Structure 1
Amino acid sequence: MDTVTITAKGILVSVDLAVGHLADMAIEIDGRRLKPLHRAPWVGEPRATLPKDLPEGTVHLSGDFLCAPFSVSDVEEAPLHGWPANSRWDVVDSAATADGWRAAFRLQRPVMGASVDKILTLRDGHPFLYQEHVFSGGAGAIPVAHHPMTVMTAGGRLAFSPKRLAATPNEAPEPDPARGRSLLAYPARSTDLTRFPAADGGTIDLTAYRMDQLREDFVTLVEADHG
Structure 2
Amino acid sequence: MKGGDDYRGLGWALGALTVQRLGAMLAPVTFILQDGRQVSPMHIAPWSNEPDTEALPGILRKLRGEWPCVPFGYSAPTDGWPGTWAGVMGPPAPDEEVHGHSSNHDWTWCESENGSLSLALNYPQASPVARVERTIMPEPSAPAIDIEFRIVVRRACRLPIGLHPVFRLPFETGAATLELGRFDEGRTYPHDVEPGAELFARGKSFTDLTSVPARAGGTADASRLPLTADTEELLQIEGLDGTAALANHAEGYRVKLSWQKAHFPSLLLWYSNRGRKAAPWNGRHVAIGIEPICSPFGLGPATALADNPIAQSGIATALEFSPESPFVTRYRIEASAL
Q: TM-score per shorter chain, which class?
A: 0.7 to 0.9
2:189 touches 2:233 (CA, 8 Å); kept in 1? no
| 2:11 corresponds to 1:11 | no
* Cα distance in structure 2, aligned partners of 1:87 and 1:223: 33
Q: CA deviation at 1:124?
A: 2.7
* Cα distance in structure 2, aligned partners of 1:203 and 1:140: 40
Give the one of 179, 193, 212 matched to 1:173: 193
SS at match of 1:119: strand
Change (3 A) 1:86 1:163: farther
SS at match of 1:31: coil
Change (3 A) 1:139 1:150: same
Instruction: Show the 5 A alignment for 1:87-126.
Output: 87-96=105-114, 101-109=115-123, 112-126=128-142
| 2:178 corresponds to 1:158 | yes
* Cα distance in structure 2, aligned partners of 1:151 and 1:211: 13
The equivalent of 2:97 in structure 1 is: 79
1:113 touches 1:139 (CA, 8 Å); kept in 2? no
* Cα distance in structure 2, aligned partners of 1:210 and 1:39: 16
What amino acid is the match of 2:30? A
| 2:166 corresponds to 1:146 | no
The Cα offsets for residues 13-53 of structure 1, whole Å up to 9 and x where unpaired, read as 2111132112311112223221212212332344xx2363x
TM-score by length of 1: 0.77
Of structures 1 and 2, the one with the larger relative CO (CA 8 A, separation 6+) is 2
Change (3 A) 1:141 1:223: farther
What amino acid is the match of 2:23? V
* Cα distance in structure 1, aligned partners of 2:64 and 2:162: 15
Question: Unaligned 5+ residue runs, structure 1?
Answer: none
Give the one of 30, 33, 37 matched to 2:38: 33
The equivalent of 1:63 in structure 2 is: 65
1:92 touches 1:104 (CA, 8 Å); kept in 2? yes
What amino acid is the match of 2:189? P
Change (3 A) 1:3 1:164: farther
SS at match of 1:218: strand
CA RMSD of aligned residues (A): 3.0
Q: CA deviation at 1:175?
A: 4.3
Change (3 A) 1:156 1:125: farther
Identical residues among aligned pairs (%)? 25
Question: Unaligned 5+ residue runs, structure 2?
Answer: 76-91, 241-259, 263-338
* Cα distance in structure 1, aligned partners of 2:221 and 2:146: 26
